[in-house]
Chains A and B, each alone.
Chain A
Amino acid sequence: DAGVTQSPTHLIKTRGQHVTLRCSPISGHKSVSWYQQVLGQGPQFIFQYYEKEERGRGNFPDRFSARQFPNYSSELNVNALLLGDSALYLCASSILAGAGNEQFFGPGTRLTVL
């Protein structure tokens, strides 16, 4: 079975642009979580979605938004990009939402904002 997939793998944008990142969970997984990992730091939680609804949100500005589709895939959108948004964006899927449900990570999308 395929693991979590993310697209694109790399992306270069300029300040002020917007970006859409995509994630497909493991088959049978209904929950998707998004994390931001700035170089040299551990990942930071952005969102968790379950059954198309937002179930958790981290401390990120409203420029960050996401959604989950009926097939459980998910998009992360970031508007008005800033240099500080340059990071590795990780998607993780789990069977269910909430604590204690093992999360499986995708390869990430590396976003560079110039």
Chain B
Amino acid sequence: KNEVEQSPQNLTAQEGEFITINCSYSVGISALHWLQQHPGGGIVSLFMLSSGKKKHGRLIATINIQEKHSSLHITASHPRDSAVYICAVFRANAGGTSYGKLTFGQGTILTVHP
């Protein structure tokens, strides 16, 4: 079982819909990244959070440390939001060869239709 699991793996929505992508992890973490990857490969950091909630434009990220769960919400989705959304974690107390290592989920492929 992967240390970081995302759901759903694929998500199709109509423009304007509210979207939720979930990330669950099985290890203690110090912080969690939400990342966006467009076709062609480049990855953009959307949020890094270790507690609570962050909002940027139409994007909202929440994390519940006790439940080892984070969600990424997109309000009023738009076709340009179509991308792969990836959750990645920094493990708590990572040292030695794992120092600074990000562990990634498998990604959620989001397609938003006009």
Chain A residues with a Cβ under 8 A of chain B: 31, 33, 35, 37, 41-45, 48, 50, 55-58, 88, 90, 92, 94, 97-108, 110
**Secondary structure at chain A's binding surface: helix, strand, loop or mixed?**
strand
CB proximity of B40 to chain A, nearest CB, Å: 8
CA distance A113 to B85 in the complex (A): 27
**B33, A33: Cβ atoms under 8 Å?**
no
Binary interface encoding of chain B residues 78-96 relative to chain A, with 1 for a CB under 8 A from any of its CBs, else 0: 0000000010101110100
Q: Which of B43-75 touch A at CB < 8 Å?
A: 43-45, 48, 50
Question: With A88-B41, A107-B42, A108-B42 in contact, is A100–B31 under 8 Å at CB?
Answer: yes
Shortest Cβ distance from residue B78 to the other chain A in the assembled complex, whole angstroms: 23
Question: Which chain A residues border B43 with CB–CB below 8 Å?
Answer: 43, 90, 92, 105, 108
Interchain CB contact under 8 A, A42 and B105: yes
A35: B residues at CB distance < 8 A = 102
User: Which bracket fits the contact residues of B?
Assistant: 20 to 34
| Cβ contact of B100, chosen from A42, A43, A56, A107, cutoff 8 A | A56
Which residues of A are found within 8 Å of B94, using beta-carbon distances? 98-99
A42-B104, A99-B30 known; A56-B50 Cβ under 8 A: no
CB contact under 8 A between A108 and B41, given known A99-B31, A100-B50: yes
Question: What 5 A-B pairs come out closest when comparing CB atoms?
Answer: A42-B104, A99-B90, A105-B43, A48-B100, A56-B99
Q: Contact at A102–B45, with CB atoms within 8 Å?
A: yes
Q: In the complex, which of the residues A50, A56, A88, A102 contacts B33, with contact meaning CB atoms closer than 8 Å? A: A102
In B95-109, the 8 Å CB interface with A consists of 97-107
B96: nearest chain-A partner, CB-CB = A56
